[in-house]
Structure 1
């Protein structure tokens, strides 16, 4: 079995396929949320004056509301869509025993069970933040587990209410058949939640992230810590999962470290080898988004100036300038594409090491400002370092990344033409 066959098997695995299709279905929401986040953070004077004239003093609240409306419910959307895609081709659905949307609704109820906050045996509450990007991983796991439990219970004939042929609406037949399996699924998930949540954990999702954050913090080397995070982000992306959102809670923790590093700089401390923060990652490693998309786009432009790839590059260039790259990653596609596996993971890792070396050896100014992840390249490099050396490093990074991508894009082009 070669690597292409192995990747094809992984791509067709029903759970991975369901998650990938669910993420694809939600790309418009991801893109809208990313653009609205970007527009709320732009610091250009003429833009702020324009927004002030259009929307008044609280103009940023307008874009924040769009971000909130799109991203703060993304976990719910993923639970519903993953569960739907996971069961839509099962035998129970094909023979009309259950509607896939009914299974998705049960999974949604199970997800709400998992994200409830348990407060000292007094009350159960659900935080609005528990429904957003910070709980994407929990949403994926819950959708898969609850759907499989439901389908298993549904397969037990003794748990099914007998169907009657004279019922007018077939939906009622399907609803009756899934009542007991639905109750059983929700009860099982609720029991799991009670037993899995520890005495010092508010809810299961936070417990998982606290545990993983502890594991990451055990890594003493800042460079090794960032390499692990970069590797996980891109492995998730390659499997068709939104790696950036799954790892967002950990990336936000690193973002808090930005301020600590700046405070140390203000005290005159020599931390050139330690100032490896989320700002450094966003500005000098993930240039254009996951996979260092700007490097990929430059290589694509050099090789493919016509056809679908050229059209896709033109469509993706504006979002990529603001580090929004879902369209390119899923449209190329990079997901589960063995040809792009090596460069997609290698480029960010190489750029991580180059950035760390440049800063720790003093070749460029140390990162002294926190920069929002949607800030375009070159602008972010200058703001982050308060120096043109940051811009110079970004140019070098783009050239290195493009050189790594180039031969793989050529191989992909030859394969499409049947030359390989």
Structure 2
């Protein structure tokens, strides 16, 4: 097992390069930007459809109003995502371009929408067909969103532009500078739309769905879901945020399947698609990647080791809402050979069990999209439209996860207990050394100096992670420490990518350890704006979230001493 862990760890640089891929990140960031739209529309669907389950049907006029909110939000998701993905990719390109020769991201967004409509949407009497503006047009949206920024990048790098006299204001000059890449993009997709339909006999969006249909089918099979959720867990096991790598590649499948399930459900048919956001949130990652909910409960309530019991009590509430970094780094589970087998296998077994219920027992798959922080068992019941079998599956998943994790938990608990007894019941200093150093003699002077010499200075700290959930724990800890010590400091959390245009608003930006592969990019951006940056190890990060004074010391040390 140790050799296997070492082999996987040696592959970490390659996995980090994959996570750094601009196109995967663009899909992820583009979808993150659209999550409020998806959740907003889903709330209307819940209101419109859930009463039907209990025999109540809304009057026709009320039903139409509820569905209108859905159709004009989720129904144009591809139009929204082509713009957000193109902007994200443009921002990534701009990081590598000179400051005085940047791509106009607003122009890219506008042109991407135009080109997507040209390529994918048919004209009908009185307007446009909406068939491919929603989830069915996502693959086309990806293609357009990848190509347009590259056309702009080529023109900007090679200075292909209409140059105006120096006397012309910059905003007017920028309009003409964007004209050539705009024209090239629109003409390109206009010609493609004309010739493609003549050659293939169908629109591009319809064709690309046919091409990828075998992939969608394969991904929804037992082997497909095992690869997808096993990969997510494996990446996280070596300390890389797995969903950031895997989910962008299957986002289109997730959304297409949830739409198909909803349509089947509304028609009174069996919703058979397995691979959806809900499957990821409330089945495979029940309590977070690795399906750690029941492991955290065991640590909190039956562990004999002081370390595991303390970590479990601290982690159980966040894990209930699928924020499991405290248990991943605190136990730790990351790179811990004892937990390699359950951490990889439990998510796969959970999804296989869910698939068995759908295919063999007639249970519906997920028909609604819910926030990923919804407690897992509740999310399973709500997301499947109160499927009767979900009330059986939910406790069964908890039982199976407990049975699989329990022997590994007992082995590790026994190991830690023996070490604690050997060390007079003390938790090993190495687990807390990094943070203890921050509060050791001499470090307190950092806080005192900050309070006395910079009492009137307002400090701002930003903490980043993949989704803004884990980072909020450290942000709150820093703010709490500042309040306790009278330091004029605010701290907030964001998802990585949301900070791009706000870097110079902060004195310090801290990157969570699971996003460490992005630190070089973050440091480059921060250095350009004169903002301090830092990242931490997993154990240090978890301890900082528990110790507000140490969290404050950490932030002040980076701001004033580096």
- TM-score normalised according to structure 2 size: 0.52
Q: Where does the alignment leave 5 or more consecutive residues of structure 1 unmatched?
A: 264-275, 318-327
1:111 aligns with 2:116: yes
1:69 aligns with 2:72: yes
TM-aligned CA deviation for residue 345 of structure 1: 7.2
User: RMSD of the alignment, in Å?
Assistant: 5.2
What is the aligned counterpart of 1:151 among 148, 153, 178? 153
Alignment of 1:157-196 (within 5 A): 157=159, 159-168=160-169, 170-196=170-196
1:25 aligns with 2:26: no
Q: Where does the alignment leave 5 or more consecutive residues of structure 2 unmatched?
A: 1-8, 233-241, 300-310, 370-377, 414-430, 432-512, 515-535, 543-562
1:85 aligns with 2:92: no
Cα distance, 1:93–1:142 mapped onto 2, change above 3 Å: farther
TM-aligned CA deviation for residue 105 of structure 1: 1.6
What is the aligned counterpart of 2:22 among 14, 19, 28? 14
Q: C-alpha separation between the residues in 1 aligned to 2:55 and 2:187? A: 52
1:60 aligns with 2:63: yes
- Counterpart of 2:256? 249
Could you tell me whether the CA contact under 8 Å between 1:285 and 1:348 is conserved in 2? Answer: no
TM-aligned CA deviation for residue 161 of structure 1: 0.9
Q: C-alpha separation between the residues in 2 aligned to 1:32 and 1:143? A: 24
TM-aligned CA deviation for residue 290 of structure 1: 6.0
Could you tell me whether the CA contact under 8 Å between 1:146 and 1:189 is conserved in 2? Answer: no
Higher relative contact order (CA 8 A, sep 6+): 1
TM-aligned CA deviation for residue 95 of structure 1: 0.8
Cα distance, 1:376–1:185 mapped onto 2, change above 3 Å: closer
Cα distance, 1:204–1:291 mapped onto 2, change above 3 Å: farther
- Counterpart of 2:424? none
What is the aligned counterpart of 1:288 among 261, 282, 285? 282
CA displacement, residues 258-284 of structure 1 (integer Å, 9 cap, x when unaligned): 899979xxxxxxxxxxxx933x77899
Could you tell me whether the CA contact under 8 Å between 2:197 and 2:204 is conserved in 1? Answer: yes
- Counterpart of 2:206? 206
Q: C-alpha separation between the residues in 1 aligned to 2:342 and 2:189? A: 40
- Counterpart of 1:266? none
TM-aligned CA deviation for residue 415 of structure 1: 6.0
The alignment covers a number of residue pairs equal to 370
1:34 aligns with 2:42: yes
- Counterpart of 1:228? 224
Q: C-alpha separation between the residues in 2 aligned to 1:210 and 1:351? A: 30
Could you tell me whether the CA contact under 8 Å between 2:45 and 2:70 is conserved in 1? Answer: yes
TM-aligned CA deviation for residue 183 of structure 1: 0.6
Cα distance, 1:351–1:40 mapped onto 2, change above 3 Å: same
Task: Give 3-state SS (helix, strand or coil) of 2:122's partner.
Answer: strand
TM-aligned CA deviation for residue 82 of structure 1: 2.0
Could you tell me whether the CA contact under 8 Å between 2:139 and 2:208 is conserved in 1? Answer: no
TM-aligned CA deviation for residue 107 of structure 1: 1.8
Larger radius of gyration: 2
CA displacement, residues 24-80 of structure 1 (integer Å, 9 cap, x when unaligned): 22222222223322222213788959xx6xxx6643334323322332222222222
TM-aligned CA deviation for residue 128 of structure 1: 2.0
Task: Give 3-state SS (helix, strand or coil) of 2:221's partner.
Answer: helix
Cα distance, 1:358–1:167 mapped onto 2, change above 3 Å: closer
Cα distance, 1:142–1:35 mapped onto 2, change above 3 Å: same
Q: C-alpha separation between the residues in 1 aligned to 2:70 and 2:267? A: 27
Q: C-alpha separation between the residues in 1 aligned to 2:340 and 2:165? A: 52
